[in-house]
């Protein structure tokens, strides 16, 4: 598994795991007068294979947020690959959505390791550092400054505006397009209505009611080669969904 493909699992997967259904995770909340801490554990499966686990910890304090994710990915007990990653970010939630301030990713495994850090200001990327440094490919579709204005890091993209007064589930909340920049690729995650699901509370702190299930489609914008095989990897996205 190449480094770009592994980074792609993080950048797209981080969004899906942080805002998607908690059917395969454990949610714990520790509310206080000053802050709320949310911990969610996820198991990532592909067909009959378990690819790994991810734990997300989110701290909300007023309008400010901090998120940290720790993942371990492997295949066949680590015989094919064994890879670990830590990702974190911070920012604030405004009336128009998330406004990130910082995003960082570090990963290692299979003889490879790397780090990425981005800074934001005023809704735009202001600084980017990457180790090892990526040599620009002349075949890459150029990323413009305009495309980075309003773009979110993969974790901040999880703060979806999905307010509705419809207690029976409002599929209109799925009509969203989220601009994302993961440090290499600029892409959109396009949500569309799919179906409604009635959820029955299984724990005292669980949710009971209807969920709007949204289909998620990955749409590349720039920073990639048109013949990149990883684009084909993400194209058949009909099975990707988010529960709101």
What is the rounded distance in angstroms from the CA atom of residue 126 to the CA atom of residue 148? 9
pLDDT at 192: 92
> Does the structure show a pLDDT above 50 at 2?
no
Q: Give me the number of domains the chain comprises.
A: 1
Top pLDDT among 49 and 142 is at 142
> Does the structure show a pLDDT above 70 at 52?
yes
> Does the structure show a pLDDT above 90 at 117?
yes
Tell me the mean pLDDT in the region 146-159: 87
**Cβ atoms 59, 66 nearer than 8 A:** yes
Tell me the mean pLDDT in the region 84-101: 89
Q: Tokens 């801490």 — which residue?
A: 37
Cα angle 124, 128, 132 (rounded to 5 degrees) comes to 155
Top pLDDT among 15 and 136 is at 136
pLDDT bucket at 235, cuts 50 / 70 / 90: low
Top pLDDT among 131 and 47 is at 131
pLDDT at 97: 81
> Does the structure show a pLDDT above 60 at 16?
no
Task: Note the residue count of the chain.
Answer: 244
pLDDT at 111: 79
pLDDT at 29: 47
Top pLDDT among 134 and 30 is at 134
Domain that holds residue 177: 3-243
């Amino acid at each position: 598994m190449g480094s770009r493909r592994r980074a792609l699992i993080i950048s797209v997967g981080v969004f899906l795991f942080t805002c998607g259904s908690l059917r395969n995770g454990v949610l714990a909340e520790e509310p206080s007068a000053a802050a709320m801490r949310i911990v969610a554990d996820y198991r990532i499966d592909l067909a009959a294979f378990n690819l790994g686990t991810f734990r997300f910890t989110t701290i909300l304090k007023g309008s400010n947020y901090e998120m940290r994710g720790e993942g371990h990915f492997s295949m066949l007990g680590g015989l094919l690959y064994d890879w670990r990653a830590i990702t974190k970010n911070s920012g604030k939630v405004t009336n128009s959505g998330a406004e990130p301030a910082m995003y960082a990713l570090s990963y290692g495994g299979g003889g490879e390791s790397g780090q990425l850090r981005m800074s934001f200001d005023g809704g735009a990327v202001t600084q980017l550092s990457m180790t090892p440094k990526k040599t620009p490919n002349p075949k890459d579709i150029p990323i413009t400054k305009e495309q980075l204005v309003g773009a979110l890091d993969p974790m901040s993209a999880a703060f979806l505006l999905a307010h509705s007064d419809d207690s029976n589930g409002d599929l209109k909340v799925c009509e969203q397009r989220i601009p994302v920049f993961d440090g290499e690729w600029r892409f959109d995650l396009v949500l569309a209505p799919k179906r409604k699901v009635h959820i029955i509370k299984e724990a005292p702190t669980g949710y009971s009611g209807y969920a709007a299930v949204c289909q998620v489609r990955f749409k590349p914008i720039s920073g990639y080669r048109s013949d990149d095989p990883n684009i084909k990897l993400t194209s058949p996205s009909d099975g990707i969904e988010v529960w709101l």
